[in-house]
Structures are given as C-alpha cells and as structure tokens.
Amino acid sequence: MTTTPTRIALPSKGRLRDDVLAVLETAGYGTGAIKGGGAMAGDGELEFLEMRPRDAGAALAAGQLAGAFISTDIAMEHGLEDLPTRPLGFSRSDLVVASRDDDGRYDAGDLDGAVIATHLPNVTRTFFAGKGLDVTIVEMGGSLEGFCAAGLADAIVDLRETGRSLRANRLRVLEQIRPCEAVFTRRHEAAQLADLELRMEAVLSARQHRYVMLHVREERLDALRELFPGLESPTVLPLAARTDLVAVHFVVGADELWRRLSDLRQLGATGIVALEPQALLD
C-alpha cells in the first residue's frame, strides 16, 4: 500500500530559504536535491517542496500542506496564527506602517482616507479597521517604498529589517504593528512532524550554547560554579601527569560565556576551548 508523503513547504528563494536549509541540513535532512525552481526532495515519508512563502501560506490555509516554513506576517495574512507554530529565531523584521517624511503625518491615526500599498491586504485591513480608520488598500507584489515615494500611495504596510530602504526613499515609520520572524507552522500531529520539530529544537538550542573545555585548579571548582549559576554538575576529568589541574567540560549559553570570559581567566582557567554543538536537548 502506497502512503502519501507528509508535505512541507520550503521558501523558494532569499535569506529565509538559506537559513531554513541550513537548519534542516544540520538536523540530518538531505537537502542536496533542493536547488531552486520548485524542487522537491524527500525520503518517502516526508517531502519538502519549494514554494513562495505567500503561496505556502495559502496552501497551508487550504489544507494542501502538512506544514510550512513561512514568516509571522504570512501566518497573520492567511489566518494561521492559531495553528501550532515554532518560532525559529532568524529572519527577524518589524511589520510597520510608513509614509513620506515630508507629508505632515506623525502616526497611523493621520491616515484616515489614505491609500495604503501593501503585500498584506488582510493584515492591513484588520489593522486599520481596528483603529476605526477608512483607507483604500492597494495590493502589490513589487517594491512598496518606491511606489509610496513617487506619490502613488500615501503610506505602506511592509516589513522593515534594517530601515535602509525606508531612509533611501525618504519614508518614516508611523507605527510598528508587530515584530516578525521565520516560523514553522503545521496542521497535523504526524509522527514525522514531531520528529522534525524535535530535530530543529536540538539544532536551534545548540546555536545558543557553547560546549566549553578548560583546565583549572580543583580547588577552584566551587568558584567556577559561582561564575555560572546554572552549572550544577560539570564533567571533571583528571589530567595525565598533572595533580594540580583538572579538565572541566560544560555547556553554557553563548552570551553568558562571552560575558564571563575575563572572569574565567582571572579564576586561573587555561586551555579554554568553546565549540558550538550541532545538537542540544535537555
């Protein structure tokens, strides 16, 4: 009996695609066949299909996919926010309302009666309706900043990453709607999806930690634990031909390690090596 593979949508281009493929590759999924142009790859049970995130959001909303790697704004646009969702911690941006910096407007409340250009008509409609503002929404697929800068729209609802494009077109932010990031959203509880999420959790957690190896005097172990309050039971190993030092291995948050690096030196730690683990599960 032939079983239908569980289909997952991958972004078809851009930094989001690259970041997602990097997570999947580290998590042990073969992505070599994913080369753009709507490519598909799978193992018979789980099938990855390249799609534009907007199309993936629509297909997921229609029940044609088991899951999709999309972004917060796409999930909002297609009413997917109530589905099980795992934030991925990358491709971060802010969804904002912006207008020309010389138009005399200072917040979104100044846009009553305005023309708003956006890639996200449903989100935009809901946002302005919530403020009791009557606007005309123009759905676009291209550059919004230039459209607004040319006077073809009074404002835009779009994603801001660095803000450089807004500044280049002399636009200013009137209001931030919400922060956005890459997410994995799914419709089902299939075992393949649970395994996918477990593997991703291990990869993403590992990125935030470091596996540390160092040498320190044994009598300084308590002081080492005081430096890292979450450090309860580090691995302590004897060193060949040394009775004054021990080797200590432990896992700690990457940010915490960098904050405490000078403290480690003052503690007398030597031979400090910090590696990024491939996977980490509690």
pTM of the model: 0.85
> In CATH, what class is 209-275?
alpha beta
pLDDT of amino acid 3:
56
More confident residue, 241 or 182: 182
SS (H, E, C) 112-144: CCCEEEECCHHHHHHHHHHCCCCCEEEECCCCH
pLDDT of amino acid 40:
57
- Give residue-wise pLDDT tens across range 104-138: 999 999 999 999 999 999 999 999 999 999 999 99
Q: pLDDT-based confidence at 41, cuts 50/70/90?
A: low
Is 6-90+181-206 assigned to CATH 3.40.190.10?
yes
Rounded-to-integer distance, Cα 174 and Cα 110, Å: 9
**Burial classification of residue 214, based on how many CB atoms lie within 10 Å of its CB (0-12 exposed, 13-18 middle, 19 or more buried):** buried
pLDDT of amino acid 282:
77
Q: Is 1 helix (H, G, I), strand (E, B) or coil?
A: coil
Does the fold of domain 209-275 match that of domain 93-179? no
> In CATH, what class is 93-179?
alpha beta
Write down the domain spans for the chain.
Answer: 6-90+181-206, 93-179, 209-275
- Give residue-wise pLDDT tens across range 156-204: 999 999 889 999 999 999 999 999 999 999 988 788 899 999 999 999 9
